[in-house]
């Protein structure tokens, strides 16, 4: 992410996957969920499509049989930082590893016509921006075979082919979290007194919730 | 203003609206398992924080645990070293922070969404979270229950709250009496086929109607469990006498607590004039047993139907259909009933409760697993389910028929433990996801009810028992 004046711009290469309902098992298979780390998932992104052999946690890309037909194995998309896809991206499991794998590969923006709810939330905790566009807009980007794109977080627009521009919508606070990299726990603990008051009241009114303590 | 059940649960747990416009919601219960918690505990340690309220948290290992264990099995016996590290890590973290855990040696260990309700930790009206999307299961008790990511697991550990925006309200009304042999799994798969896997995105789905009123807690849990496969991270059913009877049997609440709680639980339902953003009414009386044919739960049809082809008039993107057929090894013109199966899996947080096992066992009693099936396994959801099933002799019925009777865990629902499909093997599975590779690299999953899976084990193909 680059600051240009007041603008925050993400510019780069767009990799496209023309499928609906890409679930988090495709983004990263369960095998790699055995890691107890929060980083180092780049080689496992889209593992089932990216490789021709079966992988294991700890086996790196150089030891694998590469599927040359898959977009992320083709130049210039090995350097992609924007992913374009269709409907309901990130449906299925709640695994945050899916976002970690995208982030570790270098994907900063995912553009789709809709997202799985849990995946959408997880993105903002890890500096990945999910952008929703209409199905028609997605269709025209696919048709135009866009390979490069510029995204302005300030004006909330994406630009491609020099002239085309689409506006997108994202909640202020979520975007701010990405731009500033804020930590939710620190922010919430500022309200510790409110939480305590609420909890004490609840303990009196609904004692059965706390009965097993 | 009239409110929905979701509105009421939301309001009851609402601490405050933040400047950002999001809300801070109080969380009553968090379930933890070995896969999505280590990074959250690490975050806690790095910030030098302790869990806000220890007693809110209950942990158990389920995803990684082998299901062939026997009595003297300990964590040291896990062959896969990477899996072992994750289970050991959960032990360490629970010990370090003082969190109650039903560990791999406990007779109460099991799939987190099975043990929570049966040990009485899930109570109506609670907010419940877990780093697992099938947390929607607990909505069957009138809980606001949802799956969260690992960052949020850490947030709930540290603050006992979640920072969220309110969902929209959707109601699915199931009316009528189902045909014999049609279970709640068929009903929910049918719904997903109708509204799609994105149909519930952004919504909390409340399930109601006389069908729901007449089914057991186990059947209700199956429906709420699969709400996430319809895109809704929250599935809900208003508590009623069936719910309260279950809770009385399973919780250790004092009579006094129960009486006070019951007064509150009785108020947990949508007002008659409550307005839903979306509403769907489904007559269940004509629904046939449902079986998935593709790589998304929405790719589901009547078990005896012709599969969609390029000429069929359906909404789904034709390219997606072709990709799915290719992956599943289905040729043009084939029906589900034409496919030969290799494996059968009865288990998972969707269908591993006592009622599921009874249904399957009754159907196969005295019969034999087809010679064309290389392995049929039954994996009870918890130690408690296993013990109950054994006391009823169900283990014997399964074993006599040629099924393998296992120890509790997530098993073949997902490829994280030794129970996995080999490439191109076709599996009749009572789990919840037929995604590519979900049950093992290049494995082919067909989702169905426990009864249909049992039939498939005996016949070797899908269909009524021969």
Tokens (6 digits) for A176? 């701010």
Place of tokens 């090894």: B329
Confidence (pLDDT) at B86: 97
pLDDT tens-digit map of B5-43? 999 999 999 999 998 889 999 999 999 999 999 999 999
Q: How many CA atoms lie within 13 A of B402 on its CB side?
A: 19
pLDDT confidence of residue B308: 79
Question: Which pLDDT value is given to residue A180?
Answer: 86
Q: Do A188 and B163 touch (CB under 8 A)?
A: yes
Instruction: Write out the two tokens for A105.
Output: 């590969």
Beta strands in B335-409 (DSSP E): 343-346, 375-378, 404-405
ipTM: 0.96
What confidence score (pLDDT) does residue B313 get?
A: 53
Chain A 171-200, residues with CB within 8 Å of chain B CB atoms: 171-173, 176, 184-189, 191-192, 194-195, 198-199
Residues A77 and A108 placed together within one structural domain of the fold: yes
Closest-CA residue of B relative to A174 is B20
Model pTM score: 0.97
Q: What confidence tier does B309 reach under pLDDT thresholds 50, 70, 90?
A: low
Q: Which residue of A lies nearest to B49 if distances are taken between CA atoms?
A: A185
- Give yes or no: residues A139 and A48 share one domain: yes
* Chain A: closest CA distance from residue B306 (Å): 23
User: Taking CA atoms, what residue in B is nearest to A33?
Assistant: B35
CA-based nearest distance A96→chain B, Å:
5
Same domain (yes/no): A156, A62: yes
Of residues B53, B415, B435, nearest to A92 (C-beta): B435
> Measured between CB atoms, which of A30, A96, A116 is closest to B416?
A30
* A163 and A199 housed in the same domain: no
Total residues belonging to chain A:
213
- Most A CBs within 10 A among B250, B435, B445, hence the mutation to make, goes to B435
According to DSSP, residue B285 is labeled G
Closest by CA position to A41, among listed A95, A109, A99, A83: A99
Contact B126 A209 (CB under 8 A): yes
Interface of A with B in 89-108 (CB under 8 A): 91-96, 99
DSSP B214-260: HS-HHHHHHHHHGGGGGT-SEEE----HHHHHHHHHH----HHHHHH
Residue B131's pLDDT is what? 98
Report the CATH number at residue A156.
3.20.19.10
Please write the tens of the pLDDT for every residue from A54-113: 999 999 999 999 999 999 999 999 999 999 999 999 999 999 999 999 999 999 999 999
Verify that A137 and A55 share a domain, yes or no: yes
Residue B465 in this model has a pLDDT that exceeds 90: no
Q: Are residues A100 and A201 in the same domain?
A: no
Query: Residue B326 pLDDT > 90, yes or no?
Result: yes
pLDDT, position A177? 86
Regarding whether A161 and A102 lie in a shared domain, the answer is yes
B264-307 tens-digit pLDDT: 999 999 999 999 999 999 999 999 999 999 999 999 999 999 88
* Helix runs in B365-432, H state only: 383-391, 394-401
Interface of A with B in 129-168 (CB under 8 A): none
Using a CB-CB cut-off of 8 Å, the residues of chain A touching B158 are 185, 188-189
- Of all residues in chain B, the percent with pLDDT exceeding 70 is 98
Is A107 in the same domain as A64? yes
Burial class (CB in 10 A: 0-12, 13-18, 19+), B466: exposed
CB contact under 8 A, A126 and B316: no
What distances in angstroms separate CA A37 from CA A93, B80, B85, B415, one per listed residue?
18, 17, 12, 19
Question: Of B6, B58, B48, B50, which is closest to residue B28 (Cα–Cα)?
Answer: B58
pLDDT tens across B187-206, in order?
999 999 999 999 999 999 99
Closest CB from A91, A185, A186 relative to B198: A91
Q: Which residue of B has its CA nearest to A119?
A: B149
- Average pLDDT of B137-153? 98
- A201 reaches B (C-beta below 8 A): no
Strand partners, A9: A2, A152
pLDDT averaged over every residue in chain B: 96
pLDDT tens per residue across span B203-254: 999 999 999 999 999 999 999 999 999 999 999 999 999 999 999 999 999 9
Do residues A125 and A211 share a domain?
no
Chain B hits for A196, CB-CB cut-off 8 Å, are: none
Give pLDDT, residue A148. 96
As a whole number, mean pLDDT of residues B51-80 equals 96
* Residue of A91, A189, A197 best to disrupt the B interface, most CBs of B under 10 A: A91
What number of C-beta contacts closer than 8 Å exist between A and B? 207
Compare CB distances from B257 to A34, A94, A207 and report the shortest one's residue: A207
List the single residue in A with minimal CA-CA distance to B89: A36
B151: nearest CA partner in chain A = A125
How many structural domains does chain A have?
2
For residues A170 and A192, membership in a common domain is answered with no
- Asked if residue A102 and residue A200 are part of one domain, the reply reads no
Phi-psi region of B37 (alpha: psi -120 to 50; beta: other; left: phi over 0): alpha
Mutate to test the interface with A, among B18, B48, B149, B162 (most CBs of A within 10 A): B149
Once rounded to an integer, what is the mean pLDDT over residues B135-148?
A: 98
- Report which DSSP code applies to B403: P
User: Are A30 and B158 within 8 A, CB to CB?
Assistant: no
Which residue ranges in chain A fall short of pLDDT 50?
A: 2, 4
Q: Are residues A187 and A171 in the same domain?
A: no
Secondary structure class of B169 (helix, strand, coil): strand
> Is A195's CB within 8 Å of B158's CB?
no
A20–B317: do the CB atoms touch at under 8 Å? yes
Nearest CA in chain B to A51: B441
List the domain range (segments joined by +) for residue A211: 183-213
pLDDT of residue A179: 85
């Amino acid at each position: 992410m680059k600051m240009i004046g007041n603008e925050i711009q993400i510019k780069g290469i767009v990799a496209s996957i023309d499928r609906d309902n890409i679930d988090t098992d495709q983004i990263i298979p369960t095998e790699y969920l055995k890691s107890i780390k929060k980083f180092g998932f780049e080689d496992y992104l889209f593992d089932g499509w990216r490789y021709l052999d079966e992988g294991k946690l700890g086996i790196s890309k150089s030891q694998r049989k590469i599927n040359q037909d898959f977009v992320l194995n083709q130049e210039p998309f090995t350097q992609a930082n924007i992913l374009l896809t269709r409907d309901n991206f990130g449906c299925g499991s709640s695994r945050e590893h899916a976002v970690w794998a995208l982030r570790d590969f270098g994907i900063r923006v995912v553009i789709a016509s809709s997202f799985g709810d849990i995946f959408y939330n997880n993105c903002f905790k890890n500096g990945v921006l999910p952008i929703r566009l209409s199905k028609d807009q997605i269709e025209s980007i696919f048709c135009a075979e866009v390979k490069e794109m510029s995204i302005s977080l300030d004006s909330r627009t994406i630009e491609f082919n020099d002239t085309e521009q689409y506006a997108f919508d994202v909640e202020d606070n979520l975007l701010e979290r990405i731009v500033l990299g804020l930590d939710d726990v620190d922010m919430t603990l500022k309200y510790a007194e409110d939480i305590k008051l609420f909890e004490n009241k609840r303990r009196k009114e609904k004692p059965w919730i706390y009965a097993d303590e | 203003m009239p409110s929905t059940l979701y509105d009421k649960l939301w309001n009851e747990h609402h601490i405050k609206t933040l400047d950002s416009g999001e809300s801070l919601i109080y969380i009553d219960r968090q379930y933890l398992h070995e896969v999505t918690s280590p990074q959250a505990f690490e975050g806690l340690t790095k910030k030098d924080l302790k869990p806000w309220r220890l007693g809110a948290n209950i942990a158990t290992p389920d995803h990684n645990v082998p299901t062939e264990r026997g009595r003297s099995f300990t964590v040291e016996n896990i062959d896969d070293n990477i899996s072992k590290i994750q289970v050991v890590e959960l032990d360490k973290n629970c010990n370090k922070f003082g969190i109650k855990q039903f560990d791999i040696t406990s007779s109460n260990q099991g799939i987190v969404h099975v043990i929570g309700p049966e040990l009485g930790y899930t109570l109506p009206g609670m907010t419940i979270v877990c780093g697992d999307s099938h947390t929607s299961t607990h909505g069957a008790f009138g809980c606001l229950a949802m799956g969260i990511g690992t960052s949020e697991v850490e947030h709930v550990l540290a603050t006992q709250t979640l920072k969220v925006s309110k969902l929209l309200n959707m109601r699915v009304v199931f009316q009528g009496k189902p045909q014999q042999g049609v279970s709640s799994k068929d009903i929910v798969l049918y719904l997903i086929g109708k509204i799609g896997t994105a149909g519930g995105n952004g919504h909390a789905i409340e399930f109601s109607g006389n069908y729901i009123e007449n089914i057991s807690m186990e059947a209700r849990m199956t429906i709420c469990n699969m709400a996430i496969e319809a895109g809704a991270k929250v599935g809900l059913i208003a508590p009623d006498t069936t719910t309260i009877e279950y809770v009385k049997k399973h919780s250790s609440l004092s009579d006094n607590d129960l009486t006070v709680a019951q007064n509150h639980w009785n108020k947990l339902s949508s007002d008659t004039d409550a307005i839903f953003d979306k509403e769907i009414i489904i007559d269940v009386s004509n629904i046939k047993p449902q079986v998935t044919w593709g790589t998304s739960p929405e790719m589901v049809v009547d078990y005896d139907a012709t599969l969609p082809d390029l000429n069929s008039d359906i909404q789904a993107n034709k390219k997606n259909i072709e990709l799915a057929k290719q992956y599943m090894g289905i040729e043009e013109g084939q029906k589900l009933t034409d496919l030969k199966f290799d494996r059968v899996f009865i288990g998972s947080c969707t269908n591993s409760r006592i009622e599921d096992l009874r249904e399957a066992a009754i159907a196969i009693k005295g019969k034999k697993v087809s010679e064309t099936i290389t392995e049929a396994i039954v994996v009870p959801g918890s130690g408690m389910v296993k013990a109950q099933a054994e006391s009823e002799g169900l283990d014997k019925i399964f074993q006599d028929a040629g099924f393998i009777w296992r120890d509790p865990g997530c098993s073949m629902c997902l490829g994280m433990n030794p129970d996995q499909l080999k490439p191109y093997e076709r599996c009749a599975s009572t789990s919840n996801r037929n995604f590519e590779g979900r049950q093992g690299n290049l494995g082919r999953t067909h989702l169905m009810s426990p009864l249909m899976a049992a039939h498939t084990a005996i016949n070797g193909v899908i269909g009524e028992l021969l």
